[in-house]
Structure 1
Amino acid sequence: MGAGEYQATEVLAKLIGGFQKQYAAVSFELFTSSSDLLHDKLDKGLLDVAILQAPVDTTNYDYLRLPIRETWCVLMRSDAPLASKNAITASDLSGLPIILPARLQARSEIFNWLSGDIAKMRFIGNSNLLANTAVFVEQCGYYGISVQMPLLDEKRFTYRPLTPALHSDILLVWRRDRQQSLTLQKFLQFAKCFLSIE
């Protein structure tokens, strides 16, 4: 299975934990990457299931919507000038060095959010995983626009949500046209029941 760096990975962990209580002999392999690469691996049959950040093309896929929405934020050092704000507007970011997500669909949503302020922005790069973005944020004082990742050191880093708020759905997806192993069938049945009561 595949997953990006999302708060929703907590739901995936609970789902797998519950499944393994019923089927103790089943193990899993988790591959962490961006939604685009996970989507590609699903297409090639290298993953059975993945959690992907919407928007995503589900033409050849079945999916379940996870009961958590990711909130877009600005990642910064805890001593950054914007850290004193409760939320970040597009004008707050004017002229600041910004790292965007590498995923085109995500950047497109951010550009829509920036709207008329986009010409005032100083985009310095793109990154596909937040852990690397965090290094540049800490070492260079850059600002990263991303969904909030749950494991960053709160003494060193601060997240502030975008305002107006920007959210993304997270989907558990699998190929519709692929032969499913018995284990995968049981997992998907379990996931449907689990997510209906979450």
Structure 2
Amino acid sequence: MELRVLNYFLTVVREKTISQAAEVLHLSQPTLSKQLKELEEELGVTLFIRGNRFITLTEDGIYLANRGKEILSLVESTTTNLLQSNTVSGQISIGAGETRAFEFISKTLHELRNNYPEITLQLYSGNADDVLAKVDHGVLDFGLVIDPVEKQKYEYLRLPIVDRWGVLVNNSHPLAEKKVVQPEDIREIPLMISNQSLVDNQLSEWLGGNLDHFNIIGTYNLLYNASLLVSENITSLLCIDGIINTVDTNLTFVPFFPSLTATINIVWKKNQTFSNASKEFLKLIL
């Protein structure tokens, strides 16, 4: 599969129609259709179905679109870093979960950019599962993840920062008046928790060993949208402190008691070959 043809396919995905994609690519529509047909034949799959107005991706098409974006991003960053290998420049890609510890990374990047202003940054936000998958695929140079995560297969550095767990509630909720909450305080109320694969084990242990005894009505990936449900008093969230700014809002964060904290790690692939830019970043954090 040629990268040129992969780019054609991703342009069709973005533009929704072959005719519009052909115009963007400065190709004739028959030429683009032929290239896409040959791609399907090469892969042995159907990538999309033509509708009256727009194309519809098949499951194979969705898979190729997602992986194709990662492939082209990796090619672009690799090319940029190779072309500028004699200078400290190029791109650093960092993925992170929602944590105030990113302030530490931000200060490091500030110092790095002051020293080497030609360095560019690519940031990705996601939970630990998402971030680690992209580190595995080489799409991200570094990942900032919150314990508990399976990090034994990576090189990693534990940052001198911890996150504090608690519950985010609407100000009208009785828990908003408390200084701390204990497991029995939240046993009956509607709750949402992070869908990070290992978080439920940590929370389950704090809650007494079984989440089934609590009124878990759903999960969230990133916190902001879920916090809007708290604003509407639909649910409360088990989450870490400092991600949602509660000042001058109808939200209150109440910490757990006994305290439950999570350590923060920056991880990268073992035996990773770094660009000059990534090497300088690593020097600053080690």
Question: Percent of pairs identical after alignment?
Answer: 28
- State the distance in 2 between where 1:94 and 1:58 align: 32
- Give how far 1:128 is off: 1.1
Which one of 183, 193, 215 corresponds to residue 122 of structure 1? 215
Identify the structure with the greater helix proportion: 2
Instruction: Quickly say closer, same or farther: Cα 1:28–1:142, change in 2 above 3 A.
Output: same
The equivalences for 1:44-123 within 5 A come to 44-115=137-208, 118-123=211-216
For 2:97, the equivalent position in structure 1 comes to 4
* RMSD value, Cα: 1.5
Q: Do 1:90 and 1:117's aligned partners in 2 also have CA atoms closer than 8 Å? A: no
Structure 1 counterpart SS, 2:120: coil
Alpha-carbon distance in structure 1 between the residues aligned to 2:141 and 2:100: 21
1:118 Cα deviation (Å)?
A: 4.4
What is the one-letter code of the residue matched to 1:160?
Answer: V
Q: Does structure 2 retain, via aligned residues, the 8 Å contact 1:76–1:141?
A: no
- In the alignment, residue 250 of structure 2 is paired with which amino acid? R
> Shift of the alpha carbon at 1:6?
0.5
Does 1:156 find its partner at 2:250? Answer: yes
Q: What is the aligned length? A: 192
Counterparts of 1:28-39 in structure 2, within 5 Å, are 28-39=121-132
Task: Indicate which of 264, 279, 282 corresponds to 1:185.
Answer: 279
Distance in structure 2 (CA, Å) of the matches to 1:179 and 1:116: 42
TM-score (norm 1): 0.91
8 A Cα contact 2:108 2:281, kept in partner: no
Structure 2 CA distance, aligned partners of 1:182 and 1:63? 19
Runs of 4+ in 1 over 6 A off after TM superposition: none
Corresponding residue SS for 1:113: helix
Change (3 A) 1:118 1:40: closer
Match of 2:5 in 1: none
The residue type equivalent to 1:157 in the other structure is L
Q: Is the alpha carbon distance of 1:130 and 1:38 closer, same or farther for their aligned partners in structure 2, counting shifts above 3 Å?
A: same
Cα distance, 1:151–1:15 mapped onto 2, change above 3 Å: farther
1:81-100: CA deviation from partner (whole Å, max 9, x where unpaired): 10000001000002100001
Which structure carries more relative contact order (alpha carbon 8 Å, separation 6+)?
1
Letter aligned with residue 100 of structure 1: I
Task: Find the structure with the greater CA-based Rg.
Answer: 2
1:144 positional shift: 0.2
* Match among 75, 100, 107 for residue 14 of structure 1: 107
Q: Scaled by the length of structure 2, what TM-score is found?
A: 0.64
Deviation at 1:161, TM superposition (A): 0.6
Q: Which runs of 5+ in 2 are unaligned?
A: 1-93
**Mapped contact 2:158–2:264 kept (Cα < 8 A):** yes
**How far apart are residue 5 of structure 1 and its match?**
1.0
Shift of 1:117: 7.2
Contact 1:72 1:167 in 2 (8 A): yes
**1:152 and 1:161 mapped to 2: Cα distance?**
15
- The runs of 5 or more residues in structure 1 that have no matched partner are 193-198
Counterparts of 1:116 and 1:34, CA distance in 2: 23
Q: Distance in 1 between matches of 2:99 and 2:209?
A: 29
3-state secondary structure, aligned to 1:30: strand
